[in-house]
Every structure is written in C-alpha cells, then in structure tokens.
Homo-oligomer: A and B are copies of this chain.
Amino acid sequence: MQSDKSVVQDLIAVLTQRGLRYAVVSPGSRHAPVSLSLWHHPDIELTVIPDERAAGYFALGIAQYTHQPVALVCTSGTALSNYGPAAAEAFYQQLPLIFISADRPAEWVDQGDGQTIRQSGLLDRHVRASFDLMQDDDHHDIKWFNRRMVHEAWEAATSLQPGPVHLNIGLREPLYQLIESHTETPRPRKKVQGIPALNSTQLAPYQETIAATEKVLVIVGQQAFDAQLSEAVGRFSALEQVLVLTETTSNIRHGERVSCIDRLIMTFDDEDENAFIPELLITIGGQLISKKIKALLRRKFKGAHWHISADGTGMDTFQRLTDVIACEPSLFVTALTESNRTSTYHHIYYNLHTRLSSLEISTAEALGWSDLLVFRHLTARIPASTILQMGNSSVVRYIQLFDQRDDLRYYGNRGTSGIDGCTSTASGMASCAEEIVTLISGDIAFFYDINGLWHQAPRNMLRVVVINNGGGNIFRIIDGPSTTEASATVFEAAHQQNASQLAAHFGITYRAVDSAKALDAAIEWLYAGEQCKLIEVFTRDVANEDILKQSFREIKKRLKPE
C-alpha cells in the first residue's frame, strides 16, 4: 500500500532503491502520503517520535550507529523549524539525515492557512542541499526533476562531505488515498565515489618533512570509528618523533596516544609548554573538546599545520593552517609511517600521560565524593562493549580527564556542543543498537531534552546516568562567571529538582545515589537485566568545582614536588 500521489511514490521508490532503511516520523496529517507509504513499505523501520526536536536528534543517533542515511518526516508548520537544532548538529558531525517536510502547496504560503510557514529552504544554513518537490508532475520533465532531486539529495547526504539534506513537498488534499502498487518504477541510479589519494610525487615532500622533523604533533578530533584510520594512526604513533593526541570522540583505538589532552596540558608551566610545542602539526577529524590545546597552540605554535580530510575542507582551528590535504586520511597517514627518526618527543609525553593516569585516580579517590569521583567510578566500572553517549558540557569534559578505554565507544554531540538533544540521540542509538548504550548526562541537559524519552521505540538497550549537581556547573569550571553575583540564576539555572518523577512518568526504573559505595552498587544494578534504568547521582551539596581545581593542584604538586 502506498499513496496515490506519484510525487510521493517516486520519493519513496528512489529512497528505498538507494538503500533507505530507517525513518523517524512525527505525528501530523499533511505528511500522510509520505508517512503512510513508509509505514506500509516492507524495507522501512519506522519510529514515531512526537516532538520534532527530539525526533531530529533521535534520527541522528540512528545515523551515528548505522552510518546510513535516516529519513525524517514531519507535518507542515513549525514542525520543520524544530528540526533546526539537529540539522545543525548533523551538519557539523557530517551525518546523513534526510529531512522531509510536508508543506501546503507553495501558492498557499502567507495566506493565513493553518500550519503554513515559509518552509522552502528553511534549514538552508545547515544542510548540504535542499529541494522543493512538485506535486503537479503530469509533465514528464517534472517527474524527471522530482526523481533527480531525490537522487541528488541522497548523493549530497552521502558524499565525501556527508551531511543533512532537506526535501520539502507541497501536498494538496485529499491526503489519505492509498493504492496497492507503484504505477511505474523509477529507473535506478547509483554513484561510485572515488577515494582521493595523493600520488607519489605529491606525497614525497610530506614524507621528507616527517623524516626531517623532530616534533610532529598529531591531533584527532571528532569522527565516527574508522578501523583503517585507527590502525594507520596506531602505526604512525610508533614513530619516535610523532606524538598523537586524541579526543575520546575521535574513536581512535590503536597505538600509543595521549587520550587526556587537558590533563596533560594543565601540568605545564611556561617552560614545559615551550618544550611541548611541535615543529609540525597534523590534524584529522572534526571538533576538538579540549580548550587548553586550542589556546596553547594559538598562543605559541608557529610551525606548519597540515589538515587532512577526504572532502578537502580546511578547518583552521589554530590560525596557522598551511596545507589543506584532500586525501583519505588513512592513506595519507599510512604513507608517512616509513619515515621514523630518532627523537624523544613521543616517549616523554606518553610516559607523562601514564604517570598522570595513576596520579589522577588516587587523587580523585582521596578528595572524596564529588563529580570528579563519580566520573572516576563511572569510567572505570561501566561494562566492556558499552557505547557511551556523553552529554554536554561538563560530562564530556570530565570524561576526557580519565584514560580512554578501548573497549568502549564514545559519542557526544560535539558538532555544535548543544545540550538540546543528548537524551534523544542516545535514545535513537539505543533503539537500533546491539550493544548497551549508556547516556551520561548533567541535570540541565537531561531536563532540557526530556522529550527524548517520549516515544514507544525499544529502549531495553538504554541506560541513563544523570549527575545532578543542582545546575549548570560547567559555568563554574570555565573561567569567568563565578565572579558575578547573577551567575547562579543567569548562567547555571540553579535548581532543587530531581529526575525521579520524570523517570516514573516514562516508566523507567529509578535509583538515587549519593555516595561512592552506593554508586558502585548502582552501576552493577544498572546493567543487571534487560531493561532501561536510570541512576541519579546527587553531588549538589559538594563544592565540585573546588575539588576539580584542587585535584589539578594536587596532581601538579605530586608530579613536581617543590
């Protein structure tokens, strides 16, 4: 069964020909031709998420896990506008979301009809492409146009620079007419994407530079797990002159590397900084979490900076970019691994990294109950093979302070670093994942995206940890706002609420925790059985920001006794 509208038949036929499997639909009526056709299609797994903002992020979680395009379908009006945040996040995470908005026919815009806004191009700032499909497709050229637009949208979403796309479709009533089978199958189209690689002439100067340089710093930012790249970086990191820094969100799991960038840099005095500064900087992947490395390199780094990306975009994070290398990163990195030279660069910092790891653990335990200790226990005790969804913004920063575990996978919405979709993203991933997905969220992010739990999709793979410190403590950790009297209200949204009734509302088993012992027991409880559970960890009566700063001082002191 499918809609009798040929524009919709073509849309669904092309999307499923290209391989669409997941669709996230929000309730409404204007989109009935699309949603009913998807509902009846045997190849489509359809999930209904009532809140479109949550739906956007839910789909993003599916795309993170499956690396496949996910279609979103909404009705006309502000529904589409609610996709805005997830569109921006998908844009900067390069995830292929296909936003499909049902619209009134274009001729009715601004004429006072219900749920009619200016939808065409509404997401244009943060999509790779947007198209308006045409219902009046009697002319052959229009049919060709509609099908071609869907193909182009799919290809834009899955290109070397993947990302979200937007298809807007004005639909006239009647909307609910279904027919048995498709009248005419569109001619298939596919795209074969070449992998950008440098030839030996292009590579030679880069290989020579690596062989001649004593301090090469590699930094890997946010990206999906890529086995080939992870292995290539692992081999490259064995070179004595190469120091690899990784964020957990880089999902690099091979080789010797410093996975706690801030923890390393915060021990540096001026002289240490100068010793650390490389002659050459190589970056791969997207956004970095560490503010300290950005600040340090912007301040002191004067050498060459190569950025490697298959799509050839040159993000100039440190204001020093010299070489934009449009090449599949694993190929480029592999080509450099023959160029070992004698250097102490990597040994010094790998050793320091290892030493800091043990200092940090003992410091956290010694300082007692606080956010720091909570993260120490969580990062140590979460079972192997779990996927972590790290909330913004304290959570992701705390987790970077502890050694990355190669038996976990790390995700966080660091494309735009918003708090508006962390729960929805985790819910979406959990709805299709084979592993347990653990969301670790601050209280404000959890309350903000509470509608991420409002759905009937499977959530037996989801586990939730809410760290309730009574407000947005991130604003006490970063420099500045703690000096003003208005901060508790304007920056932190300080509160006395907890998540127990919200958990009850959604039928999620709940446990409150306010000590290290109770936390350890609760972590065991959380992963026993096969149902969604929620732990709320209370640290709001603790001076979390003081303990964090004290731990930094303590580590420094023990590292360099006076």
Kindly specify which of A13-21, A85-93, A341-349, A523-531 makes contact with the partner chain.
Answer: A85-93
A178 touches B (CB below 8 Å):
yes
Within 8 A of B (CB), among A488-522: 489-493, 495, 497, 501-502, 504-505
Q: Known: A27-B493, A175-B480, A486-B36. Is A450-B451 also a contact (CB below 8 A)?
A: yes
Measured CA separation A110–B291 after assembly (Å): 16
A286 touches B (CB below 8 Å):
yes
Q: A36 to B484, Cβ gap below 8 A?
A: yes
Tell me which residues across on chain B come within 8 A of A480, comparing CB atoms. 29, 32, 173-176
Within 8 A of B (CB), among A21-35: 25, 27-29, 32, 35
Kindly specify which of A75-83, A182-190, A553-561 makes contact with the partner chain.
Answer: A75-83
Binary per-residue interface labels of chain A (411-450) against chain B in the complex, 1 for a CB within 8 Å, 0 otherwise:
0001011101000000000000000000000001001101
A255 touches B (CB below 8 Å):
no
Q: B115 to A417, Cβ gap below 8 A?
A: yes
Measured CA separation A91–B274 after assembly (Å): 55
When C-beta atoms are compared, the residue in chain B nearest to A118 turns out to be B125
Measured CA separation A446–B469 after assembly (Å): 28
Tell me which residues across on chain B come within 8 A of A40, comparing CB atoms. 486
Q: A79 to B418, Cβ gap below 8 A?
A: yes
A317 touches B (CB below 8 Å):
yes
When C-beta atoms are compared, the residue in chain B nearest to A474 turns out to be B29
Measured CA separation A403–B18 after assembly (Å): 54
Q: A447 to B50, Cβ gap below 8 A?
A: yes
Q: A110 to B444, Cβ gap below 8 A?
A: no
A288 touches B (CB below 8 Å):
yes
When C-beta atoms are compared, the residue in chain B nearest to A92 turns out to be B117
Tell me which residues across on chain B come within 8 A of A407, comparing CB atoms. none
Copies held by the complex: 2
A206 touches B (CB below 8 Å):
no
Q: B79 to A82, Cβ gap below 8 A?
A: no
Measured CA separation A29–B79 after assembly (Å): 28
Q: B501 to A50, Cβ gap below 8 A?
A: no
A111 touches B (CB below 8 Å):
yes
Binary per-residue interface labels of chain A (51-84) against chain B in the complex, 1 for a CB within 8 Å, 0 otherwise:
1110000000000000000000000011101101
Tell me which residues across on chain B come within 8 A of A194, comparing CB atoms. none
Q: B84 to A39, Cβ gap below 8 A?
A: no
Measured CA separation A53–B114 after assembly (Å): 20
Q: B418 to A78, Cβ gap below 8 A?
A: yes
Measured CA separation A523–B451 after assembly (Å): 29
Q: B288 to A112, Cβ gap below 8 A?
A: yes
Tell me which residues across on chain B come within 8 A of A85, comparing CB atoms. 78, 81-82
Q: B50 to A444, Cβ gap below 8 A?
A: yes
Q: A77 to B112, Cβ gap below 8 A?
A: no
Tell me which residues across on chain B come within 8 A of A297, comparing CB atoms. none
Q: A29 to B478, Cβ gap below 8 A?
A: yes
Q: B492 to A27, Cβ gap below 8 A?
A: yes
A378 touches B (CB below 8 Å):
no
A44 touches B (CB below 8 Å):
no
When C-beta atoms are compared, the residue in chain B nearest to A285 turns out to be B112
Q: A89 to B78, Cβ gap below 8 A?
A: yes
Binary per-residue interface labels of chain A (253-293) against chain B in the complex, 1 for a CB within 8 Å, 0 otherwise:
00000000000000000000000000000000011110100
Q: Known: A125-B122, A484-B178, A502-B505. Is A418-B493 also a contact (CB below 8 A)?
A: no
Q: A117 to B450, Cβ gap below 8 A?
A: no
Q: A112 to B286, Cβ gap below 8 A?
A: yes
Q: Known: A53-B82, A84-B84. Is A117-B126 also a contact (CB below 8 A)?
A: yes
Binary per-residue interface labels of chain A (106-124) against chain B in the complex, 1 for a CB within 8 Å, 0 otherwise:
0000111111111001100
A472 touches B (CB below 8 Å):
yes
Within 8 A of B (CB), among A116-163: 116-118, 121-122, 125-126
Q: B48 to A418, Cβ gap below 8 A?
A: no
When C-beta atoms are compared, the residue in chain B nearest to A46 turns out to be B490
Could you list some 7 contacts between A and B, CB below 8 A? A25-B490, A27-B472, A29-B491, A52-B420, A115-B417, A117-B126, A505-B505
Q: Which 8 pairs, one residue from A and one from B, show the smallest C-beta to C-beta distance?
A: A81-B84, A78-B418, A78-B85, A501-B505, A176-B480, A114-B417, A118-B125, A501-B501
